[in-house]
Structure 1
Amino acid sequence: MRPLFLTLALLFAATACPAFTACDRNDDPTTTINTPTGGSSNSSDNTGNTPGDNEDNDDNNGDSPETTRTMTLKIGNSTFTATLADNATAQAFAAMLPMSLSMSELNNNEKYVYLDQSLPVQASSPGTIQTGDIMLYGSSCVVLFYKTFSTSYSYTRIGRVDNPDGLASAVGSGSVTVLFER
């Protein structure tokens, strides 16, 4: 009887443990990451390669994700064009697009959301944040800044809204949903 009980206990522990390790501090029911229906979502294959590496991509008239460094942000009825930084963080972020992010308000100057996965980090202190900067704080917190201010914090640049006129009014004063797409 005892060996059967021990076997069942070990079997339960082996199957239950993955469920416990899948949760982390970023699980927040108010934070959502949605891929729009009908769209396609590119993702990294955890080898460091992003879509387009070592293959031809004719889906966008010869422009690969590495050469097309723009994305759009749709916020309510407003659309903004942004230029992606030329770094691994921006490439990894772009590979996740399109995605709709429910972003929370912080400090009356930024909207933020924690992603379910980490992105490559190469953080530095910009000294001054500019209106329209899209940054990564830590390894998984995407931040959209809608006001210029000085900072001592370190970020990894994802990109920048090309013409941020109207960005502050588009994001408003509370949480907002932002659709990022290529």
Structure 2
Amino acid sequence: MFKENKFTTILFILLFTILIGVLAYTPFYLKEYKETLNKQHQDEKVKEQEEKEKNSIIENTPKVEEDTSKKEDKIEEKAEEKEPINLSLNIEVNGKTYIAKLEDNDTTRALIKKLPLELTMNELNGNEKYYRFDTSLPSNPININKINKGDIMLYEDNTLVIFYDSFDTIYKYTKIGTIEENGMLKTNLGKKEIKVKFSQSKK
């Protein structure tokens, strides 16, 4: 009986001590909890204020609207601008120099970049001399129906042709130019393969 009373007393003292400790710590806990809540509330206010300022900056920033039609026009104008080129070509055949007037197209420009040239041109059909390049040139072949004496053409995309006679044709060519003063052209080109020199004219 005495032992039970002693145990009860000890348990009571222990519980009382715990209660006193809890009561003593409670004010500090409540204070810390309150400070935590206040800090969270302040952080939320700061975040909300920053968001408002960010939205205000976005709303007040002037919008730059591009005129797409003008932009497209500038791109087209730039694409159309081409560097001026000399559209005269010297063609030397059998000691005689002919001057050809060239077309302003991509084929001609590509050919001019290859100048000067000395080509061994082959005979074909009794009306033309031709040379086949190893690489392709830009081409835009069309039905021309009639070949005129002195015409310079590109057949397919790699064959340079000088015609020394006039005739009708069903083939498509890209026109490069024309030898305007073509007297004795047929005689000078002859009936066999011949070396022909091409160079940029100073005119």
Shared fold per TM-score greater than 0.5: yes
Q: Specify the TM-score bucket, using the shorter chain as the normaliser.
A: 0.5 to 0.7
The residue number in structure 2 matching 1:153 is: 171
Q: Give the whole-Å Cα distance in 2 for the aligned partners of 1:174 and 1:119.
A: 26
Q: Give the whole-Å Cα distance in 1 for the aligned partners of 2:94 and 2:160.
A: 19
The residue number in structure 2 matching 1:105 is: 123
The residue number in structure 1 matching 2:190 is: 172
5 Å matches for 1:106-145?
106-145=124-163
Selected match of 2:91 from 69, 73, 77: 73
The residue number in structure 2 matching 1:46 is: none
5 Å matches for 1:22-101?
66-101=84-119
What is the alpha-carbon root mean square deviation over aligned residues? 1.5
Deviations 1:109-157 (A, max 9, x none): 0000101211001000111000000000010000000000000000001
Q: Secondary structure at the match of 1:131?
A: coil
- After TM superposition, the runs of 4+ consecutive aligned structure 1 residues lying more than 3 A away are none
Q: Which has the larger radius of gyration?
A: 2
Aligned partner of 2:98: which letter? F
Q: 1:160 deviation in Å? A: 0.8
Aligned partner of 2:106: which letter? A
Number of corresponding residues = 120
Q: Give the whole-Å Cα distance in 2 for the aligned partners of 1:158 and 1:177.
A: 19
The residue number in structure 2 matching 1:29 is: none
Q: Give the whole-Å Cα distance in 2 for the aligned partners of 1:104 and 1:154.
A: 20
What is the TM-score when the length of structure 2 is the normalising length?
0.57
Deviations 1:25-49 (A, max 9, x none): xxxxxxxxxxxxxxxxxxxxxxxxx
Q: Give the whole-Å Cα distance in 1 for the aligned partners of 2:140 and 2:112.
A: 16
Identity among equivalent pairs (%): 36
Structure 2, gaps ≥5 residues long? 1-80
What is the TM-score when the length of structure 1 is the normalising length?
0.63
Q: 1:67 deviation in Å? A: 3.3
Q: Secondary structure at the match of 2:137?
A: coil
Q: Give the whole-Å Cα distance in 2 for the aligned partners of 1:107 and 1:87.
A: 28
